[in-house]
Amino acid sequence: MNYVNVEIPQENRVLYEVQYGFLKKFFNVRNLTIDEKEHSLLFLEKKERQDMYSDDLEKKYGEYLRRWFIFFFSDSLIRVETITPKAKFNKEQTYYFIVRNVELLNTSKFDKNIFINTFTKAMNVNRGSGIYLDPKASEYKFEIDFSEMSL
């Protein structure tokens, strides 16, 4: 798979919505990590701020960033909750993502091993930022922890 980060100008968003009809459900998809040959997409889902923070998570991870990604591959549409502990990045300069909850948004078959492999490839390119990636991002380490993953 060959993922790239792509910014979608306003005038081209309709073209992507025609090709990937489900995009209309998500607010203002401005950039994608995409493998056009495999028709695979990864992008951040907009969430309300009050959904992003929890005292329980802060006790467990310290200061963290909680985000939801929408991942489309092999006709599967999936919402993936990730936690990024800030201390890990600040101390070790590592993009470290903990995958917590995985929710199937359609009824397609789901293969956990294929998901882990494909999601890891897409996130390695995206690094949680997509098109807004730090120019030095390739110099930083990258890790994904699936040990807390639940379906």
- Which of 61, 50, 53, 48 shows the shortest CA–CA distance to 89? 61
Question: CB of 41 within 8 A of CB of 31?
Answer: no
Q: What's the mean pLDDT in 29-58?
A: 85
> Does the pLDDT at position 29 exceed 90?
no
Query: How many Å apart are CA 102 and CA 17, to the nearest integer?
Result: 23
pLDDT bracket for residue 27 (50, 70, 90): confident
What pLDDT shows up at residue 140? 83
Site of tokens 């807004």: 132
Cα-flanking dihedrals φ and ψ of residue 121, to 5°? Answer: -60, -45
pLDDT bracket for residue 147 (50, 70, 90): very high
Query: How many Å apart are CA 32 and CA 109, to the nearest integer?
Result: 23
Identity at 86, one-letter amino acid code: K
- Which of 99, 119, 123 shows the shortest CA–CA distance to 5? 123
Site of tokens 């390695």: 124
Q: What is the pTM of this model?
A: 0.88
- 37 token code pair: 């040959």
